[in-house]
Structure 1
């Protein structure tokens, strides 16, 4: 294991260092290792780091490094892959959200940056209707070679994983525990199969037990990994509504399956649709039209023809223009991955190019050349 990785594993082990704060520390200090060698005076200059947090960082540095050493030995022994925020293998969709995890533990063989990723979530108390819809939905995803993401929980989650395994699609289980603890344990069989047809993913270190506050944190990863989050069934206060709200807050597409107004497990979905937080899913065509899958999410093909110079445009603008020329209309998330521009950079570039009438926006957050 590299020296950099040693400090990268240790950094999120310090209490109070997570999400936005961890990236602020990295941005100011330059690396995880530099955070560990920084003085209190330097740490307090980082925006958002006051005297109390600086003291906490200083107090826990040694114990975090010791724990990191133990973790790295176990990672190597158990064939777990560590994905740090700056790693090229880190899921780019997730990286674009403001509270992305600093470090992910991953076991499996799926490409977390697959061209098409859909999260399917729902109530733990699923009905026959919800399970049947989930099965049909996953079957419709086969021709699109979609990566299916869910939370390995009872009900709709495990139904989505099972349907994906049956259909031959890769499926990722995002866990609210350590990578070594399958919860609920009755899903160990499915989890084992997913290691060779998808994978397991968590931000929590080895030995982390299931605890209620960790599952909303898990839900943000489910929402952040996908182009669209689909809620199949949910009660009026279902946990899957958290995933939908998070996805909506990330400006990602959200769909919900409408159900009978007399069914408690459809109240959440019907409310999402009524409040305009979700688009109704009634047939595969709804999803295909929303994401423009017939052409917009196709991976860019290498074009052997001479590229237009686009003289007078910035490097970032040229990247966008050339990518759209080669690939045709693209979803903003796919465009971000292929141009390697952050969402903030890309949004600025797209706005400039729209003003100059070189590109146009399409429904479903797609963009194309004029």
Structure 2
């Protein structure tokens, strides 16, 4: 992009009533960012969904001045800018209509041909969560994926540090400009992240880590990757927002289950119960669901006394799946002569026990 086009993009970002969707509409209609400001307002008002209120302030010089000032910061501080139609823009994020029109990056980010996994979770990570992070990174390392997270307390910084220790690339997606690090206590990890990946953000150098920025940031974490993993979450929290966004983007979501009495498993258990996330017990589950190939897949534990854990209905369904292989829920219900709602509930319970697993297309198979 030329300097004029970059400044035009920044100017579009600066106008209060123009979000990413509207900016993309304007650029598509006019042909390029600079052409938006060369057109007449009367012509732009012909675009479906765009009215006078939306365009209020579009041609105000104050936003041109702000854009030029931000460009000075970008060009003077080793910041890379990625336009949403550029090859260097994250490929998966291009498919998100509300993805930012520009991303600012710093570090050594290389996404070409990479598998991308977003990992989020509670800021109050438990010892169990920490152990799962360690095992997950150890198991997934042969695939050399890029680990994306929010560089926050808890799960975020834990998974990113472990990724770096394993030699994996990691990206911290920030809710503020690249001129600062939040939380400040994580500044000591910033250089390592830039050497082993980097940081990305849609926010200007003048942006502060305000609450609404974290909510906006979550859509980038969800949109950049092929899969989002939730490792521990209370009943409410930012990681659940990210998981729901990933689900809305039609991406695979995985959640680490826990006991119903565990506060920081409630969010994960609800995602699984609502069928917004696949149950995750190891990296092998994610690899299988995404049809990725590990050079050496981790061995799954052998369950010797299987039927000790199952009631008669569960035994019947499990035997049916063992005999017939992958089957649709409705077919299982029909052949086992059971109501669909009952089979759906029983299958979820069996999934939690680790004896069956769901597959894309509402299929199920015995493990």
User: Structures share a fold, TM > 0.5?
Assistant: yes
> Equivalents in 2 of 1:211, 1:243: separation in Å?
17
Given the superposition, is the C-alpha separation of residues 176 and 198 from structure 1 closer, same or farther in structure 2, using an over 3 Å criterion? same
Whether 1:208 aligns to 2:213 is no
**What secondary structure does 1:152 align onto?**
coil
- Contact 2:17–2:56 at 8 Å: present in 1 too? no
- Contact 1:235–1:267 at 8 Å: present in 2 too? yes
Q: How far off is 1:143 after superposition?
A: 0.2
Map 1:44-83 → 2, pairs under 5 A? 44-59=45-60, 62-83=61-82
TM superposition score normalised by structure 2 = 0.78
Moved more, 192-201 or 6-15: 6-15
Q: Could you list the runs of 5+ residues in structure 2 that have no partner in the other structure?
A: 295-358, 363-367
Map 1:142-153 → 2, pairs under 5 A? 142-153=141-152
> Equivalents in 1 of 2:58, 2:36: separation in Å?
9
TM superposition score normalised by structure 1 = 0.77
> Equivalents in 2 of 1:16, 1:51: separation in Å?
10
Q: How far off is 1:276 after superposition?
A: 0.8
> Equivalents in 1 of 2:109, 2:93: separation in Å?
15
Whether 1:123 aligns to 2:122 is yes
- Contact 1:114–1:147 at 8 Å: present in 2 too? no
Once the two structures are superposed, residues 315-368 of structure 1 have per-residue CA deviations (whole angstroms, 9 ceiling, x without a partner) of xxxxxxxxxxxxxxxxxxxxxxxxxxxxxxxxxxxxxxxxxxxxxxx9489xxx
Moved more, 109-118 or 236-245: 109-118
> Equivalents in 2 of 1:191, 1:252: separation in Å?
29
Map 1:120-269 → 2, pairs under 5 A? 120-269=119-268
> Equivalents in 2 of 1:118, 1:6: separation in Å?
32
> Equivalents in 2 of 1:110, 1:204: separation in Å?
18
Aligned residues: 297
Once the two structures are superposed, residues 77-131 of structure 1 have per-residue CA deviations (whole angstroms, 9 ceiling, x without a partner) of 2100001112111111001012111111100112234420000000111111111
Instruction: Note the aligned Cα RMSD (angstroms).
Output: 1.6
**What secondary structure does 1:179 align onto?**
coil
The structure with the largest alpha-carbon Rg is 2
- Contact 1:109–1:198 at 8 Å: present in 2 too? yes
Once the two structures are superposed, residues 29-64 of structure 1 have per-residue CA deviations (whole angstroms, 9 ceiling, x without a partner) of 1111111122220121122210122232133xx222
**What secondary structure does 1:258 align onto?**
coil
**What secondary structure does 2:210 align onto?**
coil
Q: Which residue of structure 2 aligns with residue 309 of structure 1?
A: none
> Equivalents in 1 of 2:276, 2:248: separation in Å?
10
- Contact 2:175–2:209 at 8 Å: present in 1 too? yes
Q: Which residue of structure 2 aligns with residue 350 of structure 1?
A: none
**What secondary structure does 2:18 align onto?**
coil
Q: Which residue of structure 1 aligns with residue 102 of structure 2?
A: 103
